[in-house]
Chains A and B, each alone.
Chain A
Amino acid sequence: MAESSVSADQVLDCTGLACPLPVVKTSQAIKKIEPGQVLELLATDPGVEPDMKAWSSRTGNELLSIGREGDVFHVLIRRAK
């Protein structure tokens, strides 16, 4: 299955929020879904791509994809544990 066809179990809208709120809210939201489920983060903070790569590698959660529509980044993350 292509990553872009993965559908999110939960969407977290962080548009308009600045660093570190997208990371902070993602870390809280990922704990509220089950392992194996997918969280979609929507964010406009321009640093979200390197931040979510760093966050995922540190926490072990799987970064499935980062896409962009206009100013909005769509980040798909699968909860690992």
Chain B
Amino acid sequence: MWSGELDSKILYVQTHGISDPGRSATPFFLAASAAAMECEVMIYFTMYGPTLLRRDVVDKIGPKGEVGQPLRFFIEQATGLGVRLLICQPSLDLNDLRLDELIDGVEMIGGAAFNDLAIAADAVISF
């Protein structure tokens, strides 16, 4: 799934969800920075991570609650620079979610694809 068009590839992993908003935005910050440095970047959402991508949530939570930008701002900052967002079916099931409840553009993969991305990445950073 890596295009290989850029020199470096970074895979971020977000395991935290809406119950811990302070941990919600940093992976998007770092992914946006990496994309701005001309790295190819993906974020894989697993465990509770997919809850951050719910379309009914992204405007309602942010890393500092009512203060500052909502999560959508940080997500769009990253995706606007080409960062790809990935999930897998078991973590949707864990959170009783369907793909159509998430924001547009989220890609479905599975465990084998995740491992393959990790092996081929220059760095895997997990939150």
Contact = CB atoms under 8 A, between A and B. Distances in A.
Interface residues of A, number: 13
Interface in B26-60: 29-30, 32-33, 35-39
A23 B35 CA distance: 10
Interface in A1-42: 19-21, 23-24, 26-28
A52 B78 CA distance: 18
B36 A19 contact: no
Interface size class of B (residues with CB under 8 A): 10 to 19
A23 B32 CA distance: 9
A58 B36 CA distance: 10
Interface of B: 8, 29-30, 32-33, 35-39, 77, 81
Given A19-B33, A23-B37, 17 more contacts: A20-B29, A20-B32, A20-B33, A20-B77, A21-B77, A23-B36, A24-B36, A24-B81, A27-B35, A27-B36, A27-B37, A27-B38, A27-B81, A55-B36, A58-B8, A58-B37, A59-B38
